[in-house]
């Protein structure tokens, strides 16, 4: 019998305060009006689990939130999508993580972030998980959780891989530091590593996606996907190097686009698709996300994804 939750999503859970795009950043003392301001769930683990749920794929979330209204909002939102939340801890003394998302027309987003309860999450919570091993273990938000240590997570990844689980790792990089020393420990136990281009540049100090992907691959990752927003994505493994474009959609808010890409890519892995098809599914789901405000509101359901892929083709810029 199939495991009822084939994907385990662990990592950051955030509540996002998202304003509709404004024309410019306000000057000191300036008041700007926006057309809308909404409260959404966010954070890599939460976003990916919801996006998978929209595709009909069940998952369990592991993370930490506060015992506050925002924590209740996050848990109830996940449960609304049928996501297993018994792995979410509630902390009495630390608030739920929150992010203020500032959208400026024609420009990338700005973020003001409170780490909050996410800092209390550790690899121990993953190792304590009972039941059948998942087909995919996804950890999102590495480097944004003080309690999640690379050496400990590497041990957890290794144990899950020995049971046949595919390990998928995503990061958030809050400023310059020595990331490579930690990735040196973690990437040899990582099947798929999915940083975005800006994160990859910060971590490696290399410019092109191929150079960045090669560096991470040399550190041990089995396959590396560099997501590039409107620039597409690059994929590198022992066997393949691919660069793909993007699907044309109206851009409203980029929040969660990378997480939607990850969810689409994981869905492709579960369906045992080849790398190009996994990239295509990820790119399509990422494109659907940016059409609406919030990290998950615009993401396709399964039938919408199938229809979209039947009507559009992803450009392959380069293939080896």
Contacts of 60 (CB under 8 A, 6+ apart): 5, 7, 8, 9, 49, 83, 84, 85, 86, 87, 129, 134
pLDDT at 57: 97
User: Three-class SS of residue 29?
Assistant: coil
CATH code at 7-12+44-93+118-319: 3.40.1190.20
Residue 124's pLDDT is 95
Cα–Cα dist 116/125, whole Å? 17
> Helix 275-289 crosses helix 302-311 at what angle (to 10 degrees)?
110
Rounded to the nearest integer, the mean pLDDT of the chain is 94
Tell me which of 63-67, 206-210, 216-220, 255-259 is least confident: 255-259
Q: What percent of the chain has pLDDT over 90?
A: 82
Beginning with the edge strand found earlier in the chain, give each strand of the sheet holding 37-42 in spatial order. 37-42, 14-19, 98-102, 110-114
DSSP per residue over 194-262, as a string? Answer: --BHHHHHHHH---SHHHHHHHHHHTT-SEEEEE-GGG-EEEEESS-EEEE-------S--TTHHHHHH
**3-class secondary structure, 111:** strand
Q: What is the value of pTM for the model shown?
A: 0.93
pLDDT single digits (tens) 106-164: 777 788 999 999 999 999 999 998 788 999 999 999 999 999 999 999 999 999 999 99
Question: Residue 9 region, left (φ>0) first, then alpha (ψ -120 to 50), else beta?
Answer: beta
Residues 12-71: tens digit of each pLDDT:
999 999 888 898 999 999 999 998 888 999 999 999 999 999 999 999 999 999 999 999
Instruction: Compute CA distances 77 → 24, 39, 72, 141, 165, whole Å.
Output: 32, 11, 8, 19, 27
H or E element, residue 8: strand 7-11
Predicted pLDDT at 1: 37
Please state the rounded mean pLDDT for residues 301-308: 96
Work out the average pLDDT over 78-82.
Answer: 97
* pLDDT of res. 107: 79
């Amino acid at each position: 019998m199939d495991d009822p939750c084939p994907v385990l999503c662990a990592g950051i859970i955030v509540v996002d305060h998202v304003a509709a795009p404004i024309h410019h950043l306000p000057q000191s003392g300036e008041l700007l009006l926006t057309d809308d301001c909404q409260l959404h769930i966010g954070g890599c683990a939460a976003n990916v689990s919801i996006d998978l749920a929209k595709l009909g794929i069940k998952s369990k979330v592991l993370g930490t939130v506060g015992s506050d209204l925002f924590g209740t909002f996050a848990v109830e939102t996940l449960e609304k999508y049928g996501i297993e939340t018994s792995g979410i801890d509630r902390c009495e003394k630390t608030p739920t993580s929150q992010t203020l998302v500032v959208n400026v027309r024609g420009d990338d987003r700005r973020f003001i972030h409170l780490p909050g309860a996410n800092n209390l999450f550790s690899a121990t919570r993953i190792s304590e998980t009972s039941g059948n091993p998942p087909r995919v273990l996804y950890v999102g938000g590495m480097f944004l959780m003080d309690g999640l240590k690379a050496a400990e997570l590497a041990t957890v990844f290794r144990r899950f891989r020995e049971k046949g689980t595919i390990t998928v790792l995503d990061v958030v990089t809050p400023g310059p530091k020595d990331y490579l020393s930690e990735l040196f420990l973690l990437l040899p136990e990582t099947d798929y590593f999915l940083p975005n281009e800006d994160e990859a540049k910060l971590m490696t100090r290399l410019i092109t996606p191929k150079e960045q992907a090669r560096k991470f691959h040399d550190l041990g990752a089995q396959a590396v996907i560099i997501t590039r927003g409107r620039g597409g994505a690059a994929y590198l493994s022992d066997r393949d190097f691919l660069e793909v474009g993007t699907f044309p959609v109206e851009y409203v808010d980029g929040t969660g686009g990378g997480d939607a890409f990850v969810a689409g890519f994981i869905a492709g892995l579960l369906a045992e698709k080849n790398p190009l098809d996994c990239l295509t599914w990820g790119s399509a789901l990422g494109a659907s996300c940016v059409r609406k405000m919030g990290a998950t509101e615009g993401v396709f359901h399964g039938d919408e994804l199938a229809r979209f892929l039947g009507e559009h083709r992803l450009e392959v810029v380069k293939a080896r």
